[in-house]
Structure formats: C-alpha cells, structure tokens
Amino acid sequence: MKVNWNFSLYVQRSSILVIGLFLLALTLFTLQGMMTAEAAEGPKGPVEITVGTGAGGTPDVIMRRVAKILGEEKLVEQPIVIQNRTGGSWMVAVNWVIGKKGGYDTLMGIAQPLLTTPIVQGLKTVYDQLVPIALFVQGDLMIVAQPDSPFKSLADFVNEAKKNPRGLKFSGSQTGSTDHMVVALLEKAAGVKFNYIPYDSGSAATASFLGKNVDGLVLSLGEAVPLVQSGKVKPLAVLTEKRRANAELKDFLTAKEQGIDLVWGQFWGLAGAPGIDPGLVKWWNDRLQKMTATKAWKEGIDTNFQRSDFIDYTKAPAYMAEQHKIYLQLLRDIGLAKQ
Amino acid sequence: MEILGFLMDGFRGALTPMNLLFVFIGCLLGQIVGALPGIGPSAAMAILMPLTFGVPPTTALIMLSGIMYGGMYGGTLTSVLINVPGEAASVMTAVDGYQLAKQGRAGAALSIAAIGSFYGGVASLTAVVFLTPLLSNFALKFNAPEYFLLATMGITATASLGSGSAVKSLMVGVFGLMIAMIGTDPMVGVNRLTFGVMELMDGIDFIPVAIGIFGIGEVLASLEDRKDFVVLKTRLRDLWLTAQDWALCRMAIVRGTVVGFFVGTMPGTGPTIASLLAYAAEHRASKHPENFGKGALDAVAAAETANNAAAQGALIPMLALGIPGSQSTAVLLAALLILGIRPGPMLMSQQPGLVWTLLASMYIGNIMLLIMNLPLAPLWASILRIPYDYLMPGIIAISLVGVYATSLSLFSVGITVLFGIIGYLMLKFELPRAPIVLAIVLAPLMENSLRQSLMLSSGSLAIFVQRPISAVLLLVVLTTLALPIVRHIRDRRKRNSFDE
Amino acid sequence: MGMMEMGRNPKFHPIFSLTSKGREGCMKSSLDIVPALVMIVLSLITAFGVSSLDYWSQYTPGPAFAPYWIAAAGLVLSILLLVQTKLSNSCEKPDWPGRSGTIRILMTSFGLVLILILSSYIGMITATLIFILYLLLGILRRKLVPSLITTLITVALIYGVFVGWLRVSLPKGPFGI
C-alpha cells in the first residue's frame, strides 16, 4: 500500500534525524561541561538568574560575566543559566521570580527598572518583595558634547543652555531611563531646560549623536572612553563624587568640580526569591564576595570602567530602599511618576 | 593593498584547524537554530555563549558570528517547508516560499535562497573589508527623518501586496498598525491600548504573531479536508533550479544585496527590516509583481539575499563605532565585553588580529553554508514527503515551544494561538496576511522617527527637505505614491479612446 | 462616466478592481462585509482606547496622534469596502468547510487553548504530548501505532533540542518535566 511505503520511509528518515540530533545534543552537553558534583550546601540543582532585558543588554552582560566567573573559578559547582524574561520593562521577570516563593534555584538580577518601572507605570512596588543578596557592580556616567563644539566644560554647556532654553538637544534612551533622569537632574541642578529626544535604545541614541544630530549625550564610562580616545566625543563631566583614579579617567573633571551638584550612577546586583532560606542568602553572599576578589572579575570591571563596591546582604535592603526614595522623588519632580 | 595584507593575515589565522572547526560548529548551530521557529540567531548566540568559554576570544567570536549568519541560511528552511518563519528575518520568505513548496518547488526556493544568501553575504563582506570607515560615516547620515521615510516606503507597499483588492490589503495593513500601537509609548512612557494587561506593556512582538498567522493558520486550514496528502509530490531531480528560474532571480539577488547591505549598515535597523524593504523594493522592480504572494521565486531570492547581506552589513557600525547594527551584533559586542575586550571605534586598530581573522572566517563560513545548503536543498525538501498528518502535530508543537522560548512566557504562546485562529479566518475571508507583518515591524520605526524628527527640528517639517538623503528619499516616496495614479489616468485615457 | 457604469464595471476604478467575482442581483457579500464591520469595531476601540492621551505635545505628535489617524484610516477603508461591495453587487461568502471539517478545526483550536492552560499545571512537554495524541488519534483518526511513534519522536525531538540542548526552562509539571 502506498501509505505504508511512505510511512516506513518516514520512520526511517525521522529516526536518522532524531538520532543525529541526540548525538549533537550529547556532544554539546559534554562541551558545556555539565558538572554533577554535589556541593555541601547551597543550591541543589542548576541555578537560573532571571534578567528582564534581552541578550546583550548591560544587566544581561553583567550576569553572564558573573555566571562565567562563578563557574570557571569553581565557586559554584552547579551550572548557572541566564534566563531573559522580557516584557513589561522587567515586571514580567520580577513577577515570575516572586512567584517562585522559597525557590532555591531562582535568582533575580537587580537593575534600575526593577525600582523605577512601578513608579513610572503606577504599579505595586516590587523590589521590596525580593530578598537582596548583594549589590556588587556600580557604573559611573559621563556627559559628552560634540568634538567640534565650542564648549570646553559642562559649565560652558550649561551657560549656553541658559541663553537658549530648549535650544540644546540631548539624545538618550527611552523616557524614564537613566539617560533621561540624568538630563532631568542636570536641568534641575543648573536651572536650565534642554530638548531631550528619546530613542529606542542607548545605541540608537549614540548613533544619533555621532551623526551630529544632537549636542549632548549621556554615556557609561565603558562606552565613553573609546569614543573620547578616538576623538568622536568631547568629555564634559564625570558624574561621580570624586575623580576616578584610572589612568584613562583621571583627567576627566567631575560635575561637582565645575560647580554643578550632579552625582548619579547605576548599580547592579543579585536578589533571591521571596522566602529564600537565610542560610542560602549568606552562602550566595560569600560566593559573590569571593568572586569579586578574583583576577578575572577585576579585569572585567576595569575593562568596562565600572566599580565593584560590595554591598552585602545586610546592607543591600537599606541601600535599595534609599535609592527607591531618590528615584521616586526625581520621577515625581519631572512629572513621570504615577505613584 | 594594505587591506589585502591584513586579510591574508586574517585567513592565516582563520585557517588553523581549531578555528576552522569552530567556524563549522558555529555555522551548523546557526543553521539549526535558524530553522527552529521562534529562537533566532541573537537569542541562540546568548544561550550558546558558554560553549565558547575556555577557547581564545577570536575563536569564540568566530563561532558566535557563525551562528549569526548561519541563522540567516537556516531560517529559510522552516519558512519554505512548513510556513513557520524560522527567525524574524525570514518572515517574507514564508509568504512566497511556502506557496512554492505547495507547487512542488520547495527545492528551487531553498536553492535560490542559498545562492542568494551566499552572494549577498560575500558581496557585503567584501564591502565591509574594504569600505568600513567610509560606509560607517555614510550610515551615520541616516537618522530619524531618513528612517521615517524608509519606513513609509515599506508601509505604502502594503497596498499592492496580496492578490485581492487594494482596499483589503490596506485594511489588513491598518490592522497591523493597530497591533503595533499596543504597549508603552517609548517617547513619553504612557501605556497605550494595554487595557491594564502587564504583559502588553512592551507591546506585541511580531514573531508570535507571524508564527500564528502563517504557521498555525495554515495548519488549521489543512484540517478542512480529510485526505491522505503529501505536500511534496515531485521527484528529486525536478527540484533543482532551471535556466528560466535563474534568469528571473539574477537581478533580484543583486538588488537584494544592495538594499540588504545598506539597510544593514544603518544602526537603527537590522536584517528583518532589510528583508522587508528588499521584498517591497523587488515587488516594485519585478517584471511579475502579480506573482508576489502566490509563489514568486524572485521574491524569495530578494528577501533571503537581503537578510544575509544585512547580517554582514551590520558589522560596519559595530567595527567602526562600537554600535550594534542589529540584535545579533549587539550580542557579539556583549560577547566581546564578557571576553574582556573593549569594543569601540578603535577596535580595528587595537585588535587587528581579531577583526581580520573574524572577517576571513566569515568568508569561509559562507562557503561552508553554501555547501551545507545547496546540494542538500532537495534533501531538506524531501521532509515534505512525510504524510502531512504526521508532520502537522509536530509543526504546531515546535511552533508553540519555540515561541515560548523567545520570551519564556506563556503569554506569547497565547498570542500565537490567537493569531493562528485570526490567520485562518483571514484565509477564509481572502485577506492577504503579509501586510500585517510589514506594518507591525515598520510602524514603531515610522512613528518614533517622525516624532524624533520633529523634536530634532523643534517642530519644523523642513527637516525632511533640508537633509540631502532625506530629500532624495522623500522624492522617491512621492514618486512611488504618484506613479499608480499617473498610470491609472493613462490607462483610463487609453480605454476612453478605445471606447470611442 | 457615472456611478451606474462603475457599478456595472467594477474593474474600472483602481480601488474597486479585482474583486469582481460577484454575481448580479445580490447585495450581500459576507466575504467583504464581515471584515469591514470588524475593522469598524477595532477602529472605534483604538480611538476610544487612547482618548485620555495627548494628541500633540509641544513640538511633536503625542501618544494619541498615530492611533487616531490609524483608527480614521480603518474607518475610511471599511466604509470604502462596504460601498465597493454594494456597488459591485457581489454575493461572495467565505468558502467555509463542511460540517466535519468545521468540527475538526474547532476541536483543534480548542486543543490549542487547552495546551496553553495545561502547560502551567502539568508542564509544557506533557501538555504537548497529550495534544499530539489528541490531534492524531482524536481528530485525525490515524492508526494507533504510527500515531504513538510520531508522538514519541516529536516530543523527544522537542525535549532534546529545547530542554536538553538550549536549556530553555519550559513550564514544568509535578513530574519535573
């Protein structure tokens, strides 16, 4: 019968396909180096770190680096997988982790939208439902201008803005993002108004600046330094308390030095699901602390001109609460808060 | 000449057994994940990044970029064979490729896609090798006003897509625009049409929609008649390209390369938009635009050529400026950071070994992929010899799981199911489905770019004519809008004189 | 040329072209009327859904600008389609499948919704397995043994690729898969 003939051929073909794919999967397993050794305490199975951005976003890159170093330095025996749960500006991700009450294998990357999205969207505050383990990456920011512009300092830039309200243009990422908050803070600190043009992503905003469509841009130091070195941007001010000590950074003036009280930055860390075992929080805290002391970690931090001040599980909740208060106030000031 | 020397060094680096092995692994993995519905190359690069831990950074990048362009080849497979777009940039391939498969020409569609991808890839790569500094400056000249006009060009093409009346095609396009409006408005941060649903805050992604209206919709339609049918009835040797096919597609491949490459170099777009615009452009340039949507081989050639050309073109802003030109290059940049290399404008001068080995490896990879795809095209097509009844449950299952994998939420799966049913109903009401996809992808670019343009110009519309590239694009848009009207008046005159 | 002529020769106008399959003397074409009516509803939802938002903000269109214009375009197009249908006198109806075909499609759609609901309780792999069996045995009425083999191969493939290899964390059920 015709159907039977087709069928036997089909079984034959698909079995070959399946066997092939299984062999492939098996090889990849081995390559990925699945570790089976049992840790004395700590997670009992593979660990998931949930982040709310897609692959390639800053929090995603940081967490992948964490996973890589924890594995390579044999600090955590269990494999760590990064899960990108996008949607709702981190709210889908955080609600998923909150739903894993007491989960021993579920961690959440901490990033700013975790605190600011509920404020901007008028939702229930969520960061306080998670159990912070540690905050261990800080990112500083820089304001830059066009290389052929007449501005020599942030003070010059602000003076021009005073003469010409809304005349100077900033490109940045979406409304309510760090870029947007920094520009709002600068407006507040200097008593001026800019024309802020939101783009879909930070890199689109950078492209717009490099195409000479706007006058100012907020960059992380990791993005800024190569652009400064190649003469594509002119540094105006670093938004830190004191000047950074790195050789590449020591010549950049802070905003404070130029008489403008603007200190702002980003931070990242890890939190556990609600009801996570306190012993496990401490276990992770210790591992992360050891990780931040490794050479590989320090090199990564230096490459990106980030800082790694370790805020441990005892201090992290208070730190986050304080940050939340600051964000709430700022977003209310610029009319974005719905809380 | 200096560049040739660098490139030779690059080949010396890329031809080591270890690097060759990783080019092959990367291309193979890219081919497979490209073919899996939902998971695209960028997500796969992130997921498979741990495979590269422990190998030298250059080797790691070679493998990851292999996934990037390998995905462009692989995405064709599922689009053509089962009407489920394997990755975002292959969505237009599903429109015509599957119709070709139904006509027993799956092999031809796959072959032309492989040849087109190869040509587009190698031509773009050569442009990257020789012209990166020059082209990166050109790409930066494209900003909001230019993007607005490009998107407008694509959206106006919806009117002529589909075989029914223009009103119906436009109506479907408007439906797509409505879907695109859902979500947080990125310009002012307020929610639009989300009706309090948190999952809708980031908008509806177009992958679940495309998989639903094309893949699931088609499966539902197949349930109407209970016959023991096999999609592919032809013999293997009928699957190759004929001289006629080749004549039809030659120019489509060239045009696809040009459109794909330039759109790919722009920092605000990517392979998906490139293939959509190439499809729309080919529709205008083709001698048989009436075949589009019914199984036009040149449509498949243009779209598939463009997506691979764009995938390589996206390297230009990445290498010259440290700005990703696409989602996949964003992951490549992330991989650089994780491997401890700082990307930026000086990458090419500070890490020449890495950059040139990478570029050389991409030539090798494209050759490997051509070998992997071209002779095997009829073999892949013979999957359709499996009785459809036994294939169909797998199509649905792998589509739904693949969609879940893109966002890790069942909400997206729900969107797919909903649009599957909508897709079936659209088939029944003879509504073309391609305009939805075009509208969803291009609407945000169009809307945001318009608003950004007016912010840049403080409200003056003059920005669209003051910028040279924008002025040219505006002229093109106006001409393409005016052309059908002029043609209509001319036809009417002719008919009137004939009546008399 | 007047409206009468256009009515008789719908091919004449570019907008009215290509849907001239209708028969004389019939005024209802659900093929066109239903999509037009649905579009009107969607347009109204879009317009009212953004009514609380700004149409214009300072230099630029506000968040409600595009939705309003899209809704307007939707309304105009659906009215155009209705007029066109009326003028062309066409009587086309969708080519609905027969009774058994309709049942199969409804049952499959129901199965799709079921997979969605069941996934969060019994895991996505198990739900998929049940769905494939339901489709092959319940709806398509295939023979038992080939159906079982197909199900096993398909599920094993999905599990191997997505869970084993790509480590996608699919919704898990009580059995851990």
Q: What is the pLDDT of residue A260?
A: 92
Asked if C164 reaches chain A (Cβ–Cβ under 8 Å), the answer is yes
Q: What is the pLDDT of residue B272?
A: 92
The length of chain C is: 177
Residues of B whose CB is below 8 A from C168: 39, 47, 401, 404-405, 408
**C59 falls in which pLDDT band (50, 70, 90)?**
confident
Chain C: residue whose CA lies nearest to B192: C50
The torsion angles phi and psi of B398, rounded to 5 degrees, stand at -70, -30
Q: What is the pLDDT of residue A38?
A: 36
Q: What is the pLDDT of residue C10?
A: 41
- Beta carbons of A195 and A168 less than 8 angstroms apart: yes
Residues of B whose CB is below 8 A from C143: none
Which residues in A have their CB inside 8 Å of a CB on C? 7, 11, 14-15, 17-18, 21-22, 24-25, 28-29, 46, 48, 81, 83
Give the pair of three-digit tokens for residue A136: 């261990």
For residue A25, pLDDT over 70 is answered with no
Tens of pLDDT, residues B315-363: 999 999 888 888 899 999 999 988 888 888 888 888 999 999 999 999 9
Check B190 against C63: CB less than 8 A apart.
Answer: yes
The length of chain A is: 339
Q: In three state form, how does the secondary structure of chain C look?
A: CCHHHHHHCHHHCCCCCCCCCCCCCCCCCHHHHHHHHHHHHHHHHHHHHCCCCCCEECCEECCCHHHHHHHHHHHHHHHHHHHHHHHHCCCCCCCCCCHHHHHHHHHHHHHHHHHHHHHHHHEHHHHHHHHHHHHHHHHCCCCHHHHHHHHHHHHHHHHHHHHHHCCCCCCECCCCC
For residue A15, pLDDT over 70 is answered with no
**Closest approach of B170 to chain C, Cα-based (Å):** 8
- DSSP symbols for A175-227: TTSHHHHHHHHHHHHHT---EEEE-SSHHHHHHHHHTT--SEEEEEHHHHHHH
Residues of A whose CB is below 8 A from B347: 226
For residue C25, pLDDT over 60 is answered with no
Q: What is the pLDDT of residue C22?
A: 41
Q: How far is Cα B405 from Cα B44, in angstroms, rounded to an integer?
A: 10
For residue A284, pLDDT over 60 is answered with yes
Which three-class secondary structure state does DSSP give residue A72? helix
Q: What is the pLDDT of residue A290?
A: 95
A49 DSSP β-pair partners? A82, A107
**A21 falls in which pLDDT band (50, 70, 90)?**
low
Check C165 against A22: CB less than 8 A apart.
Answer: no
DSSP state of B242: P
For residue C16, pLDDT over 50 is answered with no
Residues of A whose CB is below 8 A from C146: 7
- Selection from A82-91, B179-188, B454-463, C38-47 with the highest mean pLDDT: C38-47
Q: What is the pLDDT of residue C8?
A: 38
Share of chain A above pLDDT 90, in %: 66
Check C42 against B455: CB less than 8 A apart.
Answer: no
**Closest approach of C34 to chain B, Cα-based (Å):** 8
CA distances from C124 to A99, C118, C120 (A): 18, 8, 7
Q: How far is Cα B60 from Cα B62, in angstroms, rounded to an integer?
A: 5
CA distances from B112 to B32, B255, B378 (A): 19, 14, 12
Chains with ≥3 CB–CB distances under 8 Å to A: B, C
Q: What is the pLDDT of residue A6?
A: 54
Residues of A whose CB is below 8 A from C149: 11
Sorted by sequence, the CB contacts under 8 Å of residue B106 that are 6+ apart come out as B80, B81, B97, B100, B231, B232, B239, B380, B381, B384
Asked if C132 reaches chain B (Cβ–Cβ under 8 Å), the answer is yes
Residues of C whose CB is below 8 A from A46: 167
CA distances from B479 to B146, B149, B163, B463, B472 (A): 16, 13, 23, 19, 11
Q: What is the pLDDT of residue B235?
A: 62
All structural domains of chain A, each given as residue ranges with its CATH number in brackets, are: 47-139+266-333 (3.40.190.150), 140-264 (3.40.190.10)
Tens of pLDDT, residues C144-159: 999 999 999 999 999 9
Mean pLDDT of chain A: 87
Closest C-alpha among A85, A5, A294, A165 to residue B410: A85
Check B346 against A229: CB less than 8 A apart.
Answer: yes
Closest C-alpha among B14, B27, B20 to residue B372: B27
Mutate to test the interface with C, among A9, A22, A27 (most CBs of C within 10 A): A22
Q: Where are the alpha helices (DSSP H) in B374-409?
A: 377-381, 388-407
Q: What is the pLDDT of residue A33?
A: 44
Mean pLDDT, residues A293-315: 93
CA distances from A81 to A16, A46, A147, B346, C69 (A): 30, 7, 42, 32, 45
Q: How far is Cα C169 from Cα A103, in angstroms, rounded to an integer?
A: 14
**C12 falls in which pLDDT band (50, 70, 90)?**
very low
Exposure of B462 in the CB half-sphere (CA atoms within 13 A): 4
Check A25 against C161: CB less than 8 A apart.
Answer: yes
Asked if A182 reaches chain B (Cβ–Cβ under 8 Å), the answer is no
Q: Say how far residue C177 (Cα) sits from the centre of its chain.
A: 32
Between A298 and B498, name the one with better pLDDT.
A298
Size of interface A-B (CB pairs under 8 A): 192
Q: How far is Cα A218 from Cα A327, in angstroms, rounded to an integer?
A: 18
**C19 falls in which pLDDT band (50, 70, 90)?**
very low
For residue A39, pLDDT over 50 is answered with no
Chain A: residue whose CA lies nearest to C169: A83
**C73 falls in which pLDDT band (50, 70, 90)?**
very high
Chains with ≥3 CB–CB distances under 8 Å to B: A, C
- Beta carbons of A230 and A145 less than 8 angstroms apart: no
Mutate to test the interface with B, among C77, C120, C122 (most CBs of B within 10 A): C77
Chain B: residue whose CA lies nearest to C84: B167
Q: What is the pLDDT of residue B256?
A: 96
- Beta carbons of A277 and A105 less than 8 angstroms apart: no
Q: What is the pLDDT of residue A34?
A: 43
Chain C: residue whose CA lies nearest to A50: C169
Of A14, A29, A48, the CB nearest to C153: A14
Check A204 against B141: CB less than 8 A apart.
Answer: no
Mutate to test the interface with C, among A8, A9, A21, A95 (most CBs of C within 10 A): A21
**Closest approach of C23 to chain A, Cα-based (Å):** 42
Which three-class secondary structure state does DSSP give residue A138? strand
Q: How far is Cα C31 from Cα C37, in angstroms, rounded to an integer?
A: 11
Give me the residues of chain B with pLDDT under 70, please: 1, 162-164, 227-239, 497-500
Residues of C whose CB is below 8 A from B390: 136, 142, 146, 150
Chain C: residue whose CA lies nearest to B405: C168
**C121 falls in which pLDDT band (50, 70, 90)?**
very high
* End-to-end CA separation in angstroms for chain B: 68
Of C161, C167, C169, the CB nearest to A21: C161
ipTM of the complex: 0.89
Q: What is the pLDDT of residue B133?
A: 86
Residues of B whose CB is below 8 A from A227: 322, 344-345
